[in-house]
Homo-oligomer: A and B are copies of this chain.
Amino acid sequence: MNIHDLAKHLNISIGTVSRALNGRADVNAKTRERVIEAAQKFGYSPNQSGRSLRQGLTGLVGFMVITNREREARGEAFFMSIFDGMQSYLSSRGLDFVVHFCGSDEDPVAYLRRIAERRLVDGIVISQMYRTDKRIDYLVQRKMPFIAFGRSESSKIFSWMDLDFEGVAEKAINHLCLLGHRRIAIATASNDINYGYLFVDACRSSLAKRGLDLPDELVLQEPLTESGGYRVGERLLAMENRPTAVVLVDNTMAIGLYHIFQDVKIVPGKDISIVGFDASPNGEFLRPSLTQFEVPLGQLGRWLGEHMMLLIEAKGTGKKMPVFSKLWPMKMILGDSSGPAL
């Protein structure tokens, strides 16, 4: 069933059918009603390929995720809530939303190029930004609407949004310092992941403001996994001058860390303080409860949807695309895992 069949059945031209369905003004109310009714009845919906070809727009917004075998799948779970928020907003605006998974064995830049060149989407959110990320240069040069979820060092001007790592660092350090901690370790990701680097830097300057320093041996780089957290625990236990507190950049790590502490009968919040990061793999079920930061991921997804829409509309009307940047605030949730320094 295509537009011709429908038109023939109604005894009108395809032009009128198209106009009727697209809500154009120059069509009789009565006719429009008949068309919509018939479309309904026959389950007609315009072929997106034909549509895209004519309009140069696909009506699709993409979100690129890089699957990562090293990081356990669980770590990626918080994307789900973001997707939910984005989908919900975009579908209310008549756009569809799809997620593109770049396999762990593919080159992210080549993957993205394929999506862009085949014109599969009108705009795309890219995530898991590297410290320098070729994807940005490519998309800027191609003038394709995109938002980077995560900052990246780049000479180009581009739109991004990111979690407020600096704010988190400041709040975490402040909280621990008020509790009397002086020697604080930071567990973070490897340096090529941008936020690992950002977070350590932010902690360092928050500490400096209070006259404290962050020696290199207290920066523990491990994979953002449960086993990574376990490794962090092992390294902490091996230190002669053990820190009294540790800040994690990822909650998945907290689970591994709790386990090793449980094994050696160290109680978080009493013998050592722990501050976790985000609320996705929920730390609320850890005992003692984890002091951590909360982020409304659904809202964040909606924000991405709204701003993607703005970019696409600007491009569609020939105006120059606006440039956003946004640090998403996070709220500290006090748990029992952080207590006074010994």
Q: What's the minimum C-beta distance from A124 to chain B, rounded to whole angstroms?
A: 12
Pick from B72, B83, B286: contact of A282, CB below 8 A: B72
Q: What's the minimum C-beta distance from A260 to chain B, rounded to whole angstroms?
A: 10
A263 contacts which chain B residues (CB < 8 A)?
287
A96 contacts which chain B residues (CB < 8 A)?
100, 114-115, 118, 120
Q: What's the minimum C-beta distance from A58 to chain B, rounded to whole angstroms?
A: 7
Does any Cβ of B come within 8 Å of A88's Cβ? yes
Q: Name the residue of chain B whose CB is nearest to the CB of A229.
A: B285
Q: Are B259 and A74 in touch, CB under 8 angstroms? A: no
Q: Which of the listed residues A47, A73, A115, A119 has the most CB atoms from chain B within 10 Å of its own CB?
A: A73
With A49-B49, A117-B45 known to touch, is A84 a contact of B98 (CB < 8 Å)? no
Tallying the copies of this chain within the complex gives 2
Q: Name the residue of chain B whose CB is nearest to the CB of A226.
A: B285
- Please report the C-alpha to C-alpha distance between residue A50 and residue B120 in the assembled complex, in whole angstroms: 11
Q: Are A84 and B101 in touch, CB under 8 angstroms? A: yes
Q: Name the residue of chain B whose CB is nearest to the CB of A114.
A: B45
Does any Cβ of B come within 8 Å of A99's Cβ? yes
Does any Cβ of B come within 8 Å of A53's Cβ? yes
A76 contacts which chain B residues (CB < 8 A)?
77, 80
Q: Name the residue of chain B whose CB is nearest to the CB of A115.
A: B96
Query: Could you mark each residue 81-95 of chain A with 1 if its beta carbon is under 8 Å from any beta carbon of chain B, else 0?
Result: 101100110010000
- Please report the C-alpha to C-alpha distance between residue A286 and residue B287 in the assembled complex, in whole angstroms: 13
Does any Cβ of B come within 8 Å of A41's Cβ? no
Does any Cβ of B come within 8 Å of A337's Cβ? no
- Please report the C-alpha to C-alpha distance between residue A209 and residue B196 in the assembled complex, in whole angstroms: 55
Interface residues on A, range: 35 or more
Q: Are B282 and A119 in touch, CB under 8 angstroms? A: no
- Please report the C-alpha to C-alpha distance between residue A79 and residue B74 in the assembled complex, in whole angstroms: 10
A48 contacts which chain B residues (CB < 8 A)?
49, 118-120
Does any Cβ of B come within 8 Å of A325's Cβ? no
A62 contacts which chain B residues (CB < 8 A)?
98
Q: What's the minimum C-beta distance from A88 to chain B, rounded to whole angstroms?
A: 4
Of residues 237 to 268 in A, which have CB atoms within 8 Å of B's CB atoms?
255-256, 259, 262-263
Q: Are B105 and A88 in touch, CB under 8 angstroms? A: yes
- Please report the C-alpha to C-alpha distance between residue A153 and residue B4 in the assembled complex, in whole angstroms: 37
Q: What's the minimum C-beta distance from A61 to chain B, rounded to whole angstroms?
A: 11
Does any Cβ of B come within 8 Å of A69's Cβ? yes
Pick from B43, B115, B117: contact of A113, CB below 8 A: B43
Pick from B44, B74, B97, B255: contact of A117, CB below 8 A: B44
A113 contacts which chain B residues (CB < 8 A)?
43, 45
Does any Cβ of B come within 8 Å of A310's Cβ? no
Which 5 pairs of residues, A with B, have the shortest CB-CB distance? A45-B117, A49-B52, A77-B77, A73-B80, A48-B118
List 4 additional A-B contacts (Cβ < 8 Å) besides A73-B80, A281-B281: A43-B117, A67-B83, A77-B80, A80-B101
Could you write out 22 A-B pairs with CB less than 8 Å apart? Answer: A44-B117, A45-B114, A48-B118, A48-B119, A49-B50, A49-B58, A60-B120, A69-B84, A73-B77, A73-B79, A77-B77, A77-B80, A84-B101, A84-B103, A87-B102, A87-B103, A88-B105, A96-B118, A97-B100, A97-B101, A98-B120, A230-B285
